Structure 1
Amino acid sequence: MRPVRAAFSAECGRLSEILTELTDDDLVRPTDCPPWNVQDLIAHIRTGVGRLTDMLAAPAPPRAEVDAAGYFGTAKFTAEVDADRIAGGQREALRVGRAALATEFDRAWRATEAAIAAAPPDRVVRTRHGDAMRLGEFLRTRVVEVGVHGLDLAAALGRPPWLTPPAAVVIGDLLTGGRPTPAGLSWDRLTLIRKATGRAVLTAPERTVIDAAGFRWLAFGR
């Protein structure tokens, strides 16, 4: 739980810094998560990091049923779910507005951090998909949310990726199931994350190595 909390705080803190630097022109740039622009994507991330406050305020399920890898299952990322996610990001962007976007994101992740600090480490929460998960496992999915979409924002803004080392470790371990990257791939963590989440194209030799190793891909919507 401790390294995951540290990764969440580091990645959210870094994104908060980036958001204070953005201009109105930056916010209307297109992203590789169409039809979202930068403002829509930031609003979506803000919603994602803020979910835990309400989840921790709700009654705890009796037991966990899904881990972080199971959360990213293909059944949860249907066309219908993805369409709802797209519309939700756009609605939230309009609700918050450009001027308050950085402030609202900062407030949301810090409120989540405070709620986590006040909760027992073995607390079980229920996700919006209906899954019962341990708090630490769901928090791993929030690190993925902020870190991977941070890569999308960096690409849209024409900036170098700002993925923090603690977040890179948490995301990389989730993507590989805690195993080493398949032999024959000389990927650093950033390359692993970009390749495994579809942010960079796999070459034919890379795909051959991955298939031979039985590497399990997780399913990601927006």
Structure 2
Amino acid sequence: MSPRVETVRAAFRAECARLAEILAGLDEADLDRPTGCPPWTVRELIAHVRTGVGRVTDMLAAPAPPTAEVDAAAYFGAAKFTPEVDAARIAGGRRDARQVDLDALPADLERVWRAADAAVAAAPPERVVRTRHGDAMRLVEFLRTRVVEVGVHGLDLAAALDRRPWLTAPAAEVIADLLTGGRAVPAGLRWDRLTLIRKTTGRAALTGVERAEIDAAGFRWLAFGG
């Protein structure tokens, strides 16, 4: 396995394991809280994340497309998330949430992410998968999208639960690299990785000066749909 795949895989493992730890401490009242991803509750957002993690295993069980067509940034392109796709995504999260058993929630996420991790470990480094949008992309690129989903939605869950963000350092590095396209953050912004991620994913407001700096730096604006 190439070093880059291993780096992204380590971030995926770290962030999923951290989320499973958090879930073990939740109660029914926590699960019914609203989130900043309306109309989802905490329960529904967790179900959405769990489904997104499980996509890795499902895709690797399917035939491999011959060549990759998109990267992780293109996967999050706004054009992918039409009103119809977004409505189906929201309905899917709500449907999956109805099947959530609080007592089994941490173990279920643990099972799903470990199965995904094992499937990645067994796959060739250059393996290509097909996304739910029908695009072909390299496995490492799709795994980057899973780190973004678990990490950024983890910020949403932390906010809904009135907790400090638990974003892990390996995941923050992978997400920040995707958001900046590998470019350095303008020195004048004085942002750490958590601030960068919150600001450029709409989890914290940008000032006019900050937006101008970001636009000039050529950072990528992602649309989220899982």
TM-score (norm 2): 0.95
User: 2 CA distance for matches of 1:192 and 1:93?
Assistant: 30
State whether residues 96 and 104 of structure 1, in contact with CA within 8 Å, keep that contact through their aligned partners in structure 2.
Answer: no
User: 1 CA distance for matches of 2:218 and 2:130?
Assistant: 31
Residue 121 (structure 1) shift: 1.1
State which of 1, 8, 11 in structure 2 corresponds to 1:4.
Answer: 8
Aligned to 1:32: 36
Residue 73 (structure 1) shift: 0.8
Answer with 114-123 or 2-11: which moved more: 114-123
Letter in 1 for 2:65: P
Letter in 1 for 2:40: W
SS of alignment partner, residue 129 of structure 2: strand
Aligned to 1:218: 222
Aligned to 2:77: 73
User: 2 CA distance for matches of 1:217 and 1:38?
Assistant: 25
Letter in 2 for 1:206: E
Aligned to 1:138: 142
Aligned to 1:100: 104
- Report percent identity of matched pairs: 75
Deviation digits for residues 1-40 of structure 1, max 9, x if unmatched? 0110000000000001000000111000100001110000
Residue 118 (structure 1) shift: 1.1
State whether residues 54 and 112 of structure 2, in contact with CA within 8 Å, keep that contact through their aligned partners in structure 1.
Answer: yes
Letter in 1 for 2:177: D
Aligned to 1:169: 173
State whether residues 180 and 218 of structure 2, in contact with CA within 8 Å, keep that contact through their aligned partners in structure 1.
Answer: no
User: 2 CA distance for matches of 1:154 and 1:218?
Assistant: 20
Letter in 1 for 2:14: A
Letter in 2 for 1:18: I
Residue 173 (structure 1) shift: 0.1
Deviation digits for residues 24-59 of structure 1, max 9, x if unmatched? 110001000011100000000000000011110110
State which of 187, 193, 201 in structure 1 corresponds to 2:191.
Answer: 187
Aligned to 1:159: 163
Residue 117 (structure 1) shift: 1.1
State which of 70, 73, 84 in structure 1 corresponds to 2:88.
Answer: 84
User: 2 CA distance for matches of 1:176 and 1:215?
Assistant: 5
Residue 211 (structure 1) shift: 2.7
User: 2 CA distance for matches of 1:36 and 1:217?
Assistant: 22
Taking the TM superposition and a 5 Å limit, the aligned residue runs for 1:10-49 are 10-49=14-53
User: 1 CA distance for matches of 2:146 and 2:225?
Assistant: 14
User: 1 CA distance for matches of 2:68 and 2:165?
Assistant: 34
Residue 159 (structure 1) shift: 0.4
User: 1 CA distance for matches of 2:191 and 2:111?
Assistant: 35
Q: Which runs of 5+ in 1 are unaligned?
A: none
Residue 198 (structure 1) shift: 0.4
User: 1 CA distance for matches of 2:131 and 2:59?
Assistant: 7
TM-score (norm 1): 0.96
Matched, 1:51 2:55: yes
Matched, 1:122 2:126: yes
User: 1 CA distance for matches of 2:118 and 2:146?
Assistant: 15
Q: Which runs of 5+ in 2 are unaligned?
A: none
Letter in 2 for 1:41: L
State which of 208, 211, 222 in structure 1 corresponds to 2:212.
Answer: 208
SS of alignment partner, residue 99 of structure 1: helix
State which of 178, 181, 206 in structure 1 corresponds to 2:182.
Answer: 178
